[in-house]
Amino acid sequence: MKFTLSRKDIIALNQCFDNGHVHNEASLDFALDYARRTENWTKALAWLTRAILLDHVFEEGNKRTAALLIVTYAEFEGHDTYDDKVLKLIKEVIIKKTTSITRIEEMIKDAIK
């Protein structure tokens, strides 16, 4: 199934925590472009998670936005998530500066019930 969230949807998620001001438009657009190209929704989430966490897409609330994105989209796809594993994923990507889309996708899959 194709990834269906738009730029506006991602900004709305950030507005749950902050003003939704995009700090790195190029990174968000790049990640959304790749997310739309794949049929694999976990890979799409990996592209966006990487962009939000490492490229600081938003002025504020990047970690919370990435977590909400993962949880919300997993629920949209009919899955629950392990909150502790989502938090661990967020921390690991930031601390280890994980850029591998494959590794981030593996962590997302691990956080899904």
Identify whether 2 is part of a domain. no
Residue ranges of the chain with pLDDT lower than 70? 1
pLDDT at 7 (0 to 100): 95
pLDDT at 2 (0 to 100): 73
d(CA 98, CA 77): 25
Q: Identify which of 32, 101, 79, 34 has the alpha carbon closest to the alpha carbon of residue 93.
A: 101
pLDDT at 3 (0 to 100): 79
Identify whether 89 is part of a domain. yes
pLDDT at 89 (0 to 100): 98
Q: Which domain holds residue 92?
A: 7-110
d(CA 77, CA 68): 14
pLDDT at 71 (0 to 100): 97
Identify whether 14 is part of a domain. yes
3-state secondary structure at position 1: coil
Identify whether 100 is part of a domain. yes
What's the token pair of residue 18? 């902050």
Q: List the beta strands (DSSP E) in 1-113.
A: none
Identify whether 1 is part of a domain. no
Number of domains forming the structure of the chain: 1
Kindly compute the dihedral angle of the four CA atoms of residues 82, 10, 44, 68, in this order, to the nearest 10 degrees. 0
pLDDT at 77 (0 to 100): 94
- Does the pTM surpass 0.75? The reply is yes
Domain with 97 in it: what CATH number? 1.20.120.1870
Identify whether 60 is part of a domain. yes
> Which residues 6+ apart lie within 8 Å of 92 measured at CB?
98, 107
pLDDT at 1 (0 to 100): 64
